[in-house]
């Protein structure tokens, strides 16, 4: 039980770090399309989608390796 608790704390810390990093990213890289600046919303959403897709791919790879 203690290892599960520690893993949940580590997961929460990683998600908090991701949230703050993703909110900072649009301020660090300004994307201009035409003559307008891209708002931060689509950039942050894109980063979350990328993180979820990469996490699913890694999980699938690990599960496939364990089966074989």
Do 25 and 47 contact (CB within 8 A), yes or no?
Answer: yes
**pLDDT value of position 15:** 95
Question: Tens digits of per-residue pLDDT, 32-61?
Answer: 999 999 999 999 999 999 999 999 999 999
Helix crossing, 40-67 with 2-28: angle to 10°? 140
Q: Is the pLDDT of residue 68 over 80?
A: no
pTM of the model: 0.79
Range of the domain at 59: 2-67
Pair 32, 13: CB distance under 8 Å: no
Domains contained in the chain, number: 1
The CATH number for 9's domain is 1.20.1300.10
Closest CA to 28 of 15, 43, 18: 43
The pLDDT value recorded for residue 42 is 93
């Amino acid at each position: 039980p203690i290892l599960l608790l520690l893993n949940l704390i580590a997961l929460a810390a990683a998600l908090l770090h991701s949230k703050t990093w993703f909110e900072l990213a649009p301020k660090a890289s300004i994307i201009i399309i035409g003559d307008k600046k891209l708002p931060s919303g689509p950039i942050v959403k894109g980063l979350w989608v990328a993180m979820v897709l990469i996490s699913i791919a890694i999980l699938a790879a690990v599960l496939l390796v364990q089966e074989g």
